[in-house]
Amino acid sequence: MFVRRISHKFLSRKPSKELSYTSISEKAPVPPTTSNQDIKRVVDDFLVAIDYRPRHTQPNDALRQFLSAEIKSWNVPVDEKLLTKLTQSAAVLAETSYGHLPQPYLHYAALYSCFFFYADDFAEKNPDRIKDFHLRFLRGQAQDDPVLDKYAEHLRSAYNMFPQVAANMIVSGSLEFLTATYIETTTKDLKLSRHATPYPWFLRSRSGVGVVYGHMAFPKSDTYDFKSYIQLAPEFEKLVSLSNDVLSFYKEALAGETNSFLMNRAAIENKDPLVVLREIAAESAANIRRIVDIASEQGDEVRKLALNFAYGYIEFHMLTPRYRLEELGIKPQ
């Protein structure tokens, strides 16, 4: 079977060195013996396993102008690093994963990413305001930040764009993202129990907003409804988180990040992060195979929408400079 063979391939290679954790609370960085070639081999194998082929998506100048005008209208100071995420990463994600959709849906997805990146950055400086978002949102009160106010408006407008069940999940998934972001920000020194093996995925699945991004791939239609793609929702949850963990590992290793899903899982399971990277790559490849299989049972229109989103999301990582994959010799196109 395809996935089983690929999974074995990922797990058969030995890491250059086993990492021993002296304490479960000490989440060690990626070992210095993990080479760029080690990481490149995992990423290359992953791309082969999912049959990734460059789609040659081109920049959408009109979309980028739309986003720039929107960000200027916020009238809030935005540092250069965040501005790059807002104007480039959000645009590339929309172009690759939603570029085939009508303009209102393309704009909705692109703006959602802007608010997502903003809230993620905002939480580092103002976690309590992120924690209070739900309370204000449910009470119909203004948020304590003008951009978060626009985020709240954007969530409410989902009901004008998507089937009600999908809009419900976009809103609830976004609220879970904000809570998970607050937890991630305020528990960086949390001592992880070796018995809490489900905890890293519990947090990652909520901070990754995969269900939200998946539902945005399906506009309202007279030819299908939410029942045509609802079985894909848990797969999109895994797609967005797991493939990102594989394709962002190099960037995060360079930055010495130790609070990610992958590093938390490595710490709890007492494994070398490179071993966990291979495991997650195998899990992600199996996940994408399931997306293909499930979508293929739902008719040509749903299949095309699902696969455009799934493979577009992979291409987003290939085209976005922040993931630094070209440094590994992995070409974007």
User: pLDDT tens digit string along 245-275?
Assistant: 999 999 999 999 888 999 999 999 999 999 9
Q: Are 194 and 152 in contact (CB under 8 A)?
A: no
Inside any domain, residue 106: yes
Inside any domain, residue 170: yes
In this prediction, residue 2 carries a pLDDT of: 32
Mean pLDDT score of the chain, rounded to an integer?
Answer: 90
Percent of the chain scoring above 90 in pLDDT: 82
Lowest mean pLDDT among 26-40, 51-65, 156-170, 309-323: 26-40
Q: Are 250 and 325 in contact (CB under 8 A)?
A: yes
Inside any domain, residue 62: no
Long-range CB contact pairs, 86-93, < 8 A, 24+: 86/114, 86/117, 86/118, 88/320, 88/321, 89/113, 89/117, 89/320, 89/322, 90/114, 90/116, 90/117, 91/59, 91/60, 91/63, 91/64, 91/67, 92/59, 92/316, 92/319, 92/320, 93/313, 93/316, 93/320
Inside any domain, residue 73: no
Q: Are 43 and 330 in contact (CB under 8 A)?
A: yes
Q: In Å, how far are 14, 68, 93, 97, 292 from 62, measured between CA atoms?
A: 48, 10, 15, 16, 31
What secondary structure letter does DSSP report for 162? S
320/97 Cα distance (integer angstroms)? 13
Inside any domain, residue 164: yes
In this prediction, residue 33 carries a pLDDT of: 57
Number of neighbours of residue 42 by Cβ within 10 angstroms? 21
Kindly report, residue by residue over 188-222, the tens digit of the pLDDT: 999 999 999 999 999 999 999 999 999 999 999 99
Q: Quote the number of domains for the chain.
A: 1
326/320 Cα distance (integer angstroms)? 10
The CATH number given to whatever domain includes residue 142 is: 1.10.600.10
Kindly report, residue by residue over 40-92, the tens digit of the pLDDT: 999 999 999 999 999 999 999 999 999 999 999 998 888 888 888 888 999 99
Q: Are 274 and 15 in contact (CB under 8 A)?
A: yes
Q: Are 118 and 147 in contact (CB under 8 A)?
A: yes
In this prediction, residue 333 carries a pLDDT of: 67
Predicted confidence band at 28 (pLDDT cuts at 50, 70, 90)?
Answer: low
134/113 Cα distance (integer angstroms)? 19
Inside any domain, residue 70: no
Flag whether pLDDT at 23 surpasses 70: no
Residue 262 is part of which domain span?
38-51+79-328
Percent of the chain scoring above 70 in pLDDT: 90
Question: Which amino acid does the sequence have at 124?
Answer: E
Phi-psi region of 299 (alpha: psi -120 to 50; beta: other; left: phi over 0): left
Long-range CB contact pairs, 137-141, < 8 A, 24+: 137/175
Inside any domain, residue 7: no
Flag whether pLDDT at 127 surpasses 90: yes
Flag whether pLDDT at 14 surpasses 70: no
Helices (H) and strands (E) in the chain, counts: 17, 0
In this prediction, residue 76 carries a pLDDT of: 87
Rounded-to-10 torsion of CA 293, 294, 300, 303: -90
Question: Which amino acid does the sequence have at 3?
Answer: V
Inside any domain, residue 71: no
